[in-house]
A and B are shown apart, each in its own frame.
Chain A
Amino acid sequence: MLLYILKRIVSAISVVIVTLVASFALFFLAPTDPAGVICGPRCTPTRLADIEQSLNLDEPPLEQIGSYMKGLVVGRDFTSGGVTQHCDAPCMGYSYTLGQPVTKLLKQAFPVTLSIVLGGAVVYLSVGILAGTIAAQRRGTTLDKVTVGTTLVVNSFPYFVLALLVALYATFLPQTGYHSFLDNPLLWASGLVAAWLTLGLANAAAYTRYSRASMIESLGQDFVRTARSKGVPHRRVVYRHGLRAALTPVATIFGIDLAFQLTNAIFTESIFGLPGLGMLTLRAFAQYDLPTLLGSVFVGSVALVLMNLLVDIAYTFLDPRVRLG
């Protein structure tokens, strides 16, 4: 098991490196001009060259990748205008436009996104699994049809439309902005509740359908019939025998979804004004802010490979037949 995890971590690292190199390549292949953006409309060639030099943009791209990777692992020094500044590992450089270390920006933005995504997950897992289980048990009834219909309607709305609708009409929800959980948990929760409901309800639709399908399959299994033949009460048959088996596939989807939501919380963040990873990335895009972009790519790819690993490890607890190795 430990050896397996080690192997997986090694392969995860290589995935992250490939992702970073690919992002670098894409950035330099695209017609980007970060120095020009910083320099502004009244730019002189000397000033442009100065800026390029201070951002290390004058170096060949391969060298830039090299020093970036070095910074990630052991840290690096930046020289700008004769002043040398040391950037500790993991160093992701300085934002071109904000002048702050990317690591610091990510450290501020990540907890916001994580709070949104985890809180939303609590909502959609509980609503989705409960609704899916109930619908599966009453398969074919009006209640089941209404449930499935509702999920289809909710799912056919683009996510940002749903979020806008909540923002426009659910004005009774607190709008206190983001506060750190460590400073004030109550204020933290009240600032996030609208985002949680939006993310939660939109995804609850999909999770209702996953759970319903998984539950219908599991309730048709022979072991459910065995449980009934033992005289096990109906409720216990459904929840202990049926749901237990139905949750494994749902857990797989959840792990992957969680990783994607961490990198795709942009709509939720911008509509509810929460300064998370999505907002940071969007701003970096608009301003050709390569270090910040790379930083969020890094966080996203780490989240993805980490969630994949966690799902696989969770499987050994969910399903005793699974042995990693």
Chain B
Amino acid sequence: MTDQTTRAPQTVARAARAKRANEEPYLEVSDLHVQFPTADGLVRAVQGLSYSLPLGRTLAIVGESGSGKSVSSMAVLGLHDAKTARISGSIKVGGREITGLSERALESYRGVDAAMIFQDPQSSLHPYFTVGDQIMEAYRTHRRVSKRAAKARAVEMLDRVGIPNPRRRVDNYPHEFSGGMRQRAMIAMALVNDPKLLIADEPTTALDVTVQAQILDLITDLQRDFGSAVVFITHDLGVVAEIADDILVMYAGSAIEQGPVEKVLGTPLHPYSWGLLESVPALTGEPAPLHPIPGTPPSLLAVPSGCAFHPRCEFRDRVPQDRCRTLKPDLLARTADPGHTSRCHLHEPDQVFQTDISPRLP
């Protein structure tokens, strides 16, 4: 379908699509629930998650381990085993409903409309096949092209993601690549079929800090060129500030705050988001003690009643009638800005942030 001669106009088409970005969402998740029945009980990994993402924008999903960020994104790719996971709600990609698709239909969807980059490129690449082999496989799974054409495409992709000497490198095994190069190869593999949605699941966590920056630049570059929608899963707020347009903060399987990145990082409205900000060490000025969030994330087998964060929240006493413990807050706009929502009962949370939290931040 796609070869060198048609690529240029396609990129133009992409750019045009990106302009229309704000009109229609490419990815639309609504009221997504993912549960895993286990011997110990029902693990409620994702509880009523909703978000939408247009082409050309990057959404960062932020949260601790076990907050449901990876599980929800795996569901977007239909990667959960129907035998072990219960999924309800709706996931629409480019207008097409993904939940409930047959395995066969999912196979032709994965890698074409949506692709994923994983956390650890070392274990995510097959150690017994060459990098080129694995990229070619991704290409040939969805297109009837000769091995030669597929190899040319693999070389082209490796070149595009900044692997030096791609013609030779295409025949290397993953262990002959450095960590950063492996992640570049993973990105090349994910993008080989021009997916319009890219999910990056902590793609820089396993890499050196200097390499992290390069990979982030690469992802932003590629997104600009291809005009795709990117879901970026991370727990690194520094990364978020650098690449995201929007943020979704997750806690215990639910979104607890959502909005444009400058709003959520500038004036966060949820005590958990405040805790995350306070946990970021200052790189300049006087070294100050960090202010960690007390306690540990809840077990998804027994999510706390009311607001899942209330056992760890230092502001729960400011909410009258013990509502934090008894009533789960809705994800609503809590200030004059309708695009910035939060799941917290606190009255005027922006004021609380200014008076109580802001002075404590470096």
Binding site for B on A (CB under 8 A): 221-223, 225-234, 241, 244-245, 318-321
Contact = CB atoms under 8 A, between A and B. Distances in A.
B127 A321 contact: yes
B1 to A, nearest CB: 15
B127 A233 contact: no
Given A228-B110, A230-B111, A230-B137, A223 B124 contact: yes
Contacts, number: 73
B79 A223 contact: no
Which of the listed residues A225, A229, A232, A241 has the most CB atoms from chain B within 10 Å of its own CB? A229
A231 B142 contact: yes
Contacts of A319: 127-128
B128 A229 contact: no
Given A223-B125, A230-B138, A231-B138, 18 more contacts: A223-B123, A226-B124, A226-B126, A227-B126, A228-B110, A229-B79, A229-B111, A229-B190, A230-B141, A231-B108, A231-B110, A232-B141, A241-B126, A244-B128, A245-B127, A245-B128, A320-B173, A321-B175
Given A227-B126, A229-B77, A321 B173 contact: yes
A301 to B, nearest CB: 33
A242 to B, nearest CB: 10
Chain A contact surface mostly? helix
Nearest to A140: B83
B128 A320 contact: yes
B77 to A, nearest CB: 6
A247 to B, nearest CB: 10
Contact of B115 (A225, A229, A232): A229
B173 A230 contact: no
Given A222-B120, A320-B175, A321-B175, A231 B126 contact: no
Contacts of A228: 79, 110
A152 to B, nearest CB: 23
26 contacts: A222-B120, A223-B123, A223-B125, A223-B126, A223-B127, A225-B118, A226-B186, A229-B79, A229-B118, A230-B115, A230-B141, A231-B111, A231-B141, A231-B142, A234-B103, A244-B126, A244-B128, A245-B126, A245-B127, A245-B128, A319-B127, A320-B173, A320-B175, A321-B127, A321-B173, A321-B175
Contacts of B128: 244-245, 318-320
A229 B119 CA distance: 14
Interface string B123-136: 11111100000100
Contacts of A232: 107, 137-138, 141
B112 interface: yes
A250 to B, nearest CB: 14
A226 B118 contact: yes
B277 interface: no
B116 interface: yes
A222 to B, nearest CB: 4
Contacts of A318: 128
B105 to A, nearest CB: 11
Nearest to A224: B126
Nearest to B186: A226
Interface in B198-236: none
A23 B112 CA distance: 66
Which of the listed residues A225, A230, A241 has the most CB atoms from chain B within 10 Å of its own CB? A230
A252 to B, nearest CB: 15
B189 interface: yes
A321 B125 CA distance: 13
Contacts of A229: 77, 79, 110-111, 115-116, 118, 190
B343 to A, nearest CB: 30
B269 to A, nearest CB: 34
Interface in B70-122: 77, 79, 103, 106-112, 115-116, 118, 120
Contacts of A234: 103, 107
